[in-house]
Structure 1
Amino acid sequence: MKWLIVVLACAALSEGLNRVPLKRFKSMREELREKGIHLPYSDPALKYLPYHTSTFASSGSALINNYADRTASPPQSSYFGAISIGTPPKSFQVLFDTGSSNLWVDSSYCSTQACTSHTQYNPQRSSTYSSNGQTIYLPYGFGSLYAVLGYDTVVVAGITVPRQVFGLSTREPKQTFLSAKFDGILGLAYPSISSGQATPVMDNMMQDNLLQANLFAFYLSRNEEQGSELSFGEVDQSKYQGQIYWTPVTAETYWQIGIDGFQVNNKETGWCSQGCQAIVDTGTPSLTCPHQFLGYLMRGIGAQQNQYGEYMVDCSETQNLPTISLTISGVDFALPPSAYISVYYQNGYQFCTVNIYPTYLPPQNRQPLWILGDVFLREYYSVYDRSNNRVGFATAV
C-alpha cells in the first residue's frame, strides 16, 4: 500500500509542477490611466511590419496569470506565466505570444528603469550560459527593445529545453515596459520571423522530440478570473465544449488564417466577400479591424468616438448591442457584446469602451487583414498544430 501512496503522491506533484497559472492583473495602460496619463492609441500590428516590409513575403501545461486591464483603452489584458532559465534555475514571468517568435527576458546588461524594476537574468550566475555576442532588435506594437543573444537551459510547463537561444535585454526605452507585470516575452510563432534567426522554443521542443504531439493550445479566462492555461503537446478537453474546428495556416510566419465572412447581427457585411486574412495573436488584447471598415462597424454597434479617439457606448445599453461573427472555414464564430465591450471606472464614473481597434497593415494578396486577439480568444479555446500547419477553435467553457 505504501508504494501506491508514494506513486500517487509523485503523480500529483508532477501534475502540479506541470501546471503554472496565467495571472490577470491591472494592465500597463490601466495603471497609467489611474495616474491621469492617457497613452495615444498604438496600432498592435506595428510588430508585424518588419516581416511585411521585408523581402520575405512529453506534454505539459502552464497555468497562466490573467492580467486584466478593465480600465485601459485600448484594454491591455495580458496572459503570462512562469518559466525558468539557467543553472541553478531562475524564475521569470513571460508573456506567451503567438504573434512573435523570440524569447527574451530582462537582464543585468540593461540599466534602464524598465529593466531594473523587473526580475533580471544575470549570465554570470548560470553555469550553463554561453553567447556569441550577436545583437538583435525586437519591435512590438507597444514598444521595442534591444538584446544580445545567449544560450541556456529553459524550462517551460515542466519541459526542459537545453541550449535554448534567448535575448538578454540591453536597452528598453519604452514607458510601457516599465508598467509591464512580466519580465519578458516567449514567442510562439514560426521561425521565419524570428529576429537573429533564433530558433523558437517550440521548434527546439519539436527538434528534440520533447512533445507527444507537435502542438500547443490556449485557454484564456474571462472577467479577470484565474485558471488560464497553456498546454504543450496536448489539448485539455476540460477547457472547451463541442468539437474543434480546424482551418489551415495561410502563411507560415505568424499564425495567419483566412476569414470567409463578417456579420453584424447575422447580417453579412460583404467585407470579406473576396476573402480576408487574420493573425491569431495572444499578445494583442483587442480585436483589430482593417481601418477601412472600422467606421462602418462602429456605426453598426452604435458607438461614438470620444476626445481620446476611443469608441464608447452607453453602459445601460450594452445588453442590446449586436453580436458580431466571423466565418472561418465555413463555421461562424460569434462574439457577443460581453466579449468586445470593456467596462472601466474613472473618478467615480462608469465607462464602456468598444475593445475593437483599427489596424493599418497592408492587405495580404489584396485581402484585408484582421488580428484575432484576446477579445476573440477568451471566447474560443485555440489549438496551434505545427505538424499540420493549422489552427483549431472550440467554444471555451
Structure 2
Amino acid sequence: MCYVGTPASIHYGTGSIHGYFSEDQVTIGDLVVNNQEFIEATHEPGLTFLAAKFDGILGLGFKEISVEGANPVWYNMIQQNLVTEKVFSFWLNRNAYDMNGGEIVFGGADTNHYKGSHTYTRVTRKAYWQFEMGDFLIGGKSTGICVDGCAAIADSGTSLIAGPIAAIAQIHAQIGATGVANEECKEVVAGHGHKLLELLQDKTPPAQVCSKIGLCEFDGTHGISAGIDSVLGETHKSADDVSDATCNACEMAVSWMQSEFVQNQTKEGKLEYANRLCDNMPSPVGSYVDCRHIDSLQNVAFSIGGRAFELTPEQYILKFGEGFLAHCMSGFTALDIPPPIGPLWILGDVFMGAYHTIFDYGNMRVGFADSA
C-alpha cells in the first residue's frame, strides 16, 4: 500500500515522470472506480511528453511491477465488482483519417471489431503481458528467428514492433530497410571476424564469444536502444558508450555468423554475409524503405499459439505524406533488453492494429483475432 503524498517517479523507454501519490475517483466510460491510487505528475522531462496529445498514462500491466505496489485501475475494477468478466480488450484503428481512433473495453470484447475467433496463448510471466512466441516467417519461410521460442509481450504503449538488434537487422536486410551504416560493426567483422568464427567452430557458447576476445565485459547481450516510443521499463546507459557500441556490434556479428553455419558457407562467405548485414543495422531514429518498392515486399508472420499471424507490407511499413513528399519507415525497431526481463519482443501498435487483442486476467492468457 502507498500513502498519499509519497514521492514517486517512473522511467519509460522515452521520457519519465516525477511527482507524488494521490487518490481519487477515476471515471472510465460509465464505470466509476473509487479510492484509486495514482501518481500526480509535477515534472515531465523530455520531448515525449512535451509533444504528447494525452494527459496521462494508464498502466494495465500486472501489480507485480507497479510502483510501490500500488493497485492498478484494472485490479480495482475487479475488486469493486465493476466488471462481469475479468478481461479487457483493444481495437486500434489504423485508418488515420477516421475520427474513431480505437476502443478499449473493460469486462468484455466488442464483436464489431474482430472477425472469427481469438487464438489464445498463456501468460508466462506476470509483469507485462508476456507469452511465448514461435518462429518468425518472411514470405512463408522460416527465418530461424525464434524457431526455438522467444519471450514476447503485447503492449499498446509501444508504437512499433521491437526485437533484439541482431534479429531486426536480419529482417531489415530482407525487406530492404536501411538505417545509418554502422562502421563499428564493420570494424568488428574486419578485425575480429576470423577469431569469432574459430570460437564458434570450437563450440564456444555464442553468448560468451565476445567476452572471450575482450570486446564485451559481460557474457550476453546488454544495452537498450532509446530510439523507440515505448512505456516498457527503465532505460539503462553504459558508462562507456564506445565499449558498449563495440560489444553490441560484436554480438550481432556472432548472431549472424552462427545463423550461417547451417548454410554450409565458406569462412569468407560467412564474413561477407555479416559485413553485408552491418549496412542494415537498425538506426536509433528509424529505418527507411523505398516507398516505390512496398508492393514487391513479402508478408511477414509471427507464430503464436499455433497460428501464423501475418502482416502485409502495408501493415508493417508506415507511410508518411503523399507523392514525391512521401517517405516510408519500417514498423520494426531494435531494442535489446537485458536479463532478467529480456531478451524480449514487443508486439506494439503495428501488430495490435492488425489483430484485436484480449487480455484475459481470469484465465491468464492473451488472445488475438483479425481486426474488423
TM-score, shorter chain, exceeding 0.5: yes
Q: 1:390 maps to what in 2? A: 365
Which of the residues 320, 325, 329 maps onto 2:296?
320
CA displacement, residues 242-280 of structure 1 (integer Å, 9 cap, x when unaligned): 111110011011011110110011111122122101111
Opposite residue 165 of structure 1, the aligned amino acid is E
Q: 2:134 maps to what in 1? A: 260
- Counting aligned pairs with the same residue, the percent is 37
**Which blocks of at least 5 consecutive residues in structure 1 are unaligned?**
1-129
Instruction: Give the alignment's Cα RMSD to 1 decimal.
Output: 2.0
Which of the residues 16, 22, 28 maps onto 1:144?
16
CA displacement, residues 146-201 of structure 1 (integer Å, 9 cap, x when unaligned): 12101111111211111110111121111221110001111111001101211000
CA distance in 2, matches of 1:379, 1:226: 18
Which of the residues 281, 299, 302 maps onto 2:176?
302
Which of the residues 321, 328, 331 maps onto 2:307?
331
Name the structure with the higher strand share: 1
Greater relative CO (CA pairs within 8 A, separation 6+): 2
Q: 1:226 maps to what in 2? A: 99
Opposite residue 255 of structure 1, the aligned amino acid is W
Answering whether residue 29 of structure 2 is matched by residue 185 of structure 1, we say no
Opposite residue 256 of structure 1, the aligned amino acid is Q
In the comparison of the two structures, how many residue pairs are matched? 267
Flag the 1:388–1:301 CA change in 2: closer, same or farther, 3 A: same
CA distance in 2, matches of 1:232, 1:248: 20
Q: 1:176 maps to what in 2? A: 48
Which of the residues 283, 290, 293 maps onto 2:164?
290
Deviates more, 1:301-310 or 1:386-395: 301-310
Q: 1:270 maps to what in 2? A: 144
Would the aligned equivalents of 1:146 and 1:170 in 2 still touch at CA under 8 Å?
Answer: yes
Q: 1:153 maps to what in 2? A: 25
Deviation at 1:301, TM superposition (A): 0.6
Q: 1:61 maps to what in 2? A: none
CA displacement, residues 329-367 of structure 1 (integer Å, 9 cap, x when unaligned): 1111001101111112499622111121001112569x8
Opposite residue 320 of structure 1, the aligned amino acid is S
CA distance in 1, matches of 2:146, 2:324: 41
CA distance in 2, matches of 1:346, 1:184: 32
Answering whether residue 253 of structure 2 is matched by residue 380 of structure 1, we say no
CA distance in 1, matches of 2:70, 2:303: 35
CA distance in 2, matches of 1:304, 1:291: 14
Opposite residue 254 of structure 1, the aligned amino acid is Y
CA displacement, residues 131-150 of structure 1 (integer Å, 9 cap, x when unaligned): 63111111111100112101
- Alignment map for 1:27-46 (pairs within 5 Å): none
CA displacement, residues 214-233 of structure 1 (integer Å, 9 cap, x when unaligned): 11000000121333100011
Name the structure with the higher helix share: 2
CA distance in 1, matches of 2:135, 2:308: 9
CA displacement, residues 298-339 of structure 1 (integer Å, 9 cap, x when unaligned): 111112225865322211111111111000111110011011
Flag the 1:279–1:364 CA change in 2: closer, same or farther, 3 A: farther
CA distance in 1, matches of 2:321, 2:353: 22
Which of the residues 80, 84, 88 maps onto 1:216?
88
Would the aligned equivalents of 1:306 and 1:312 in 2 still touch at CA under 8 Å?
Answer: no
CA distance in 2, matches of 1:156, 1:375: 25
Name the SS for the 2:57 alignment partner.
Answer: strand
CA distance in 2, matches of 1:138, 1:246: 31
- Alignment map for 1:77-156 (pairs within 5 Å): 132-156=4-28
Opposite residue 172 of structure 2, the aligned amino acid is M
Opposite residue 205 of structure 1, the aligned amino acid is M
Opposite residue 56 of structure 2, the aligned amino acid is G
- Alignment map for 1:54-69 (pairs within 5 Å): none
Would the aligned equivalents of 1:157 and 1:232 in 2 still touch at CA under 8 Å?
Answer: no
Which of the residues 145, 157, 163 maps onto 2:35?
163
CA distance in 1, matches of 2:288, 2:156: 24
Q: 1:352 maps to what in 2? A: 328
Would the aligned equivalents of 2:9 and 2:17 in 1 still touch at CA under 8 Å?
Answer: yes
Name the SS for the 1:318 alignment partner.
Answer: helix
Opposite residue 320 of structure 2, the aligned amino acid is Y
CA displacement, residues 89-144 of structure 1 (integer Å, 9 cap, x when unaligned): xxxxxxxxxxxxxxxxxxxxxxxxxxxxxxxxxxxxxxxxx963111111111100
Would the aligned equivalents of 2:336 and 2:343 in 1 still touch at CA under 8 Å?
Answer: no
Name the SS for the 1:192 alignment partner.
Answer: helix
Opposite residue 146 of structure 1, the aligned amino acid is H
**Which blocks of at least 5 consecutive residues in structure 2 are unaligned?**
182-282
Q: 1:200 maps to what in 2? A: 72
